[in-house]
Each structure stands twice: as structure tokens, then as C-alpha cells.
Amino acid sequence: MDLSALETPCLVLDRGKLEKNIASINQRMATLGVNLRPHGKTAKNIDIVKMALDGQPGDITVSTLKEADYYFSHGIIDMVYAVGVAPVKLDHIAGLIKKGANITILLDSIEQAKFAAAKAQEHGLTLPVLIEIDCDGHRSGVTLDDPLLVEIGRLLHRENGVTLEGVLTHAGGSYQCQSVDEIRAIAETERHTAVACSEVLRQNGLPCPIVSVGSTPTANFAEDLAGVTEVRAGVYMFYDLVMAGLGVCKENDIAISVLTSVIGHQKRKNWVITDAGWMALSRDRGTASQKVDQGYGTVWTLKGDPLEDLIVSATNQEHGIISDRSGGALAWDSFAIGSMVRILPNHACATAAMYDRYYVTDGSTEITDVWHRVNGW
């Protein structure tokens, strides 16, 4: 079947680009001498995650328990649930552990540690725990100089039902970097902070076998990962316009796109109207704060070639407006009613989350596979 026969909007995945992106990060990790724990939150699909695990130990990261259930049902045992744990989810996690999964949870407070220990004792099992470290003020976590780090460590070490496995940090600040040099610097801060926290724990007689770091930008530009035991990243599998704007990839590396139909022309305004609005593209405007604002996405042909200077400049729920960056006239012959174009996403995780499946191509317009996604919670 050909892409042109699909009902739009829908999500297209270029397998060749996916494989190249995966191989490139795996090569980097091998050079740096560290394992990759791919993040399953971007793909939310087992076929893709299995490809990402090629040459790696087989452990993954998840962002929802739905992903954990799904990946476990496809044979993946070892998962870090890398979102600070909510007490209400502990029964679910305990259930997965009883079935044989090895789920490590993440926390950064005494309260969460106490909830986890109590729940584990109630279920008669042991919950492995990582302490979340804040390396760049991006979101959550304990800072290197905070005595809470050792307090949580001591509690986990002392209590029955929980084991202190180590520390985890995520340099989310890397998404706001203005240059590749800044990404290199933040990668070193990410590494240094995590390793220093592990040393603080060890100096206090506490175990810290895992030192986990990662984001797609820092995974791409870290120059040294001494002391780190694993890197987590997910967006690298697909990449997106935010990553291209950061200099982490080229626009041509982006493996997913939204296929959309032309449904109208506003020739007075130099607009092409499509059936991919924000429900199809997501409302993510991550490139708005970058040097080049890509609107809701750049426009490529059905065959997968860039249409220079065209972006989705505005969206409604089910309508997208394509225009030239400069507002100039469009080549109307290229946008016949019913013809199709592809939109490259600002943020791959957000755009892919709008779909329940990928239409996989081999680089042409022929569909070679249909792979499902596990959305929701």
C-alpha cells in the first residue's frame, strides 16, 4: 500500500532514518564506554525499542506505568520508571514486580521513601530506588549540596522493603542551550553532579551502584562519561525540529512526519489549508524560543523532500495553515486540493502522542509495516 492511499492525518516513520539515528548513538556510547538505557517514552513501541537495544544490555527507561506494562508484556524485564513516584502508583508497581519485572523507582523526598518502604513491606517485596538529582535547576531532584541526599540515602538503606540503587539525573536544561558548546558544558555538569552525588553517598557508607544520566542533547555531545554507569535518551530515535534547532541533528535526520491532505486555498492570503491542525501536530511550539521559529512544523513533499521556506504558520484544532516564511506567493500547482504533504514535528514525543500507530516506510512512499503505540497512562 502507498502513503497516498491513507486517510489523513497520520504518522509516518522512515525506517532508514530511525536505524541511522539509533546506530549513531550506539556508536557514541561504545566510544565513550557506557551503556545506553533507551527511553521508551518517545517510541512507545516494542519494535523500535528492540532496535534501540541492539548491542545494549536490554534495560530501558519508561515514563508511564502503561509503558512498563506494555514493554514487560513484550519481554523487557529491567525498567527504570524515571518520573518521581506518586504513592498511588506503588500498588501497580508492586504488581509488576510480583509478575517478575525489575522496576526501579525514582524519588527525591523522605515522604516518597517512607511511602515506598511501607508499601513494599505490605506486599512483602523489595523496591529498588534511585534518588533523583537536580543538576541544572530544570525540574525536580535533590541538589549536590543538600543534606537531604544523605538523609534519603540513609532512610532507604535502613528501611526494610527498599534498596538504594543509586542516583539519576536528567539535564533538561540542555533543551534551552544556545550553542553546541553550551550543550557540551551542560553534559559535563550533568556527569559531574551525578558522580559527585554518588561519591557523597559512598563517603557516608551508602551503596551507589547506578549513576544514571541523560538527555538526547547531552548524549550527543558528552565528551567524557567517567563514573557514569548508564545514559538515558529517547528523542534521538526520531529527532525533531527542536533538536535540529539546537544543532543536535539535521532536519533531514528527522524520522517521523505527519502526512496531511490539502483541503483548501486562501490565495489572497497566500495560505494553503490542510487537515493537520494542532490535534494532529500537537500544540508544541518548542522552536518559538530558538533562532529559527518553525511555527508548528516544516513542510516536506509526500515523497519526503523539503519545501524550502514553507512552515505551518498557524493551526486550529483540525486545520493547519501552510505559508511561506516571508508571506510570499505559493506555487499553487504543488498544492492541488487532495494532494498530500508531510509536516516535520517540533517535538517528536508530543506529535507522536497524537497517534495510535506508525505507518513505516523504507524511504519511498510504500508502506512496509504498521507499528502500534501505547499512549496514555
Ligand X SMILES: Cc1ncc(COP(=O)(O)O)c(C=O)c1O
Strands of the sheet containing 78-81, edge to edge, are: 35-36, 230-231, 210-213, 162-169, 127-133, 102-107, 78-81, 60-62
Q: Give the cell for residue 69.
A: 506494562
Q: Give the cell for residue 103.
A: 522496576
Pick the closer one to ligand X by CB: 214 or 245: 214
Q: What single string gives the DSSP state of each residue in 174-185?
A: GGG-SSHHHHHH
Q: Are 42 and 243 in contact (CB under 8 A)?
A: no
What is the closest distance, in whole angstroms, from the C-beta atom of residue 173 to ligand X in the complex? 11
Round to whole Å and give the CA distance between 235 and 304.
20
Q: Which of residues 110-169 bind ligand X (CB under 6 A)?
A: none
Binding mask 82-121 for ligand X (x = CB under 6 A): x---------------------------------------
Q: Using CB under 6 A, which of 128, 166, 173, 234 touches ligand X?
A: 234
DSSP code of residue 317: S
Q: Give the cell for residue 8.
A: 489523513
235 contacts ligand X (rule: CB under 6 A): yes
Binding mask 69-88 for ligand X (x = CB under 6 A): -------------x------
Q: Give the cell for residue 86.
A: 506518586
Round to whole Å and give the CA distance between 28 and 46.
23
Strands 298-301 and 367-372, by their bridges, are unpaired
Q: Give the cell for residue 158.
A: 535502613
Which 3 state secondary structure label does DSSP give 299?
strand
Strands 230-231 and 210-213, by their bridges, are parallel
What is the closest distance, in whole angstroms, from the C-beta atom of residue 83 to ligand X in the complex? 7
Round to whole Å and give the CA distance between 247 and 183.
10
Binding mask 15-54 for ligand X (x = CB under 6 A): ------------------------x---------------
Pick the closer one to ligand X by CB: 80 or 341: 80
DSSP code of residue 345: -
Q: Which residue of the chain is nearest ligand X when measured via CB?
A: 216
Binding mask 193-232 for ligand X (x = CB under 6 A): ---------------------xxx---------------x
Q: Using CB under 6 A, which of 79, 116, 225, 233 touches ligand X?
A: 233
Q: Are 272 and 335 in contact (CB under 8 A)?
A: yes
Q: Are 208 and 152 in contact (CB under 8 A)?
A: no
Stretch that binds ligand X, among 27-35, 97-105, 147-155, 234-242 (CB under 6 A): 234-242
What is the closest distance, in whole angstroms, from the C-beta atom of residue 6 to ligand X in the complex? 28
Pick the closer one to ligand X by CB: 98 or 139: 139
Which of 161, 96, 88 is closest to 128 using CA atoms?
161
Pick the closer one to ligand X by CB: 70 or 236: 236
Round to whole Å and give the CA distance between 259 and 351.
12
Q: Using CB under 6 A, which of 17, 28, 119, 170 touches ligand X?
A: 170
What is the closest distance, in whole angstroms, from the C-beta atom of residue 209 to ligand X in the complex? 18
Q: Which of residues 332-371 bind ligand X (CB under 6 A)?
A: none
Pick the closer one to ligand X by CB: 351 or 365: 351
Pick the closer one to ligand X by CB: 159 or 230: 230
Residues in touch with ligand X (CB under 6 A): 39, 61, 82, 170, 214-216, 232-236
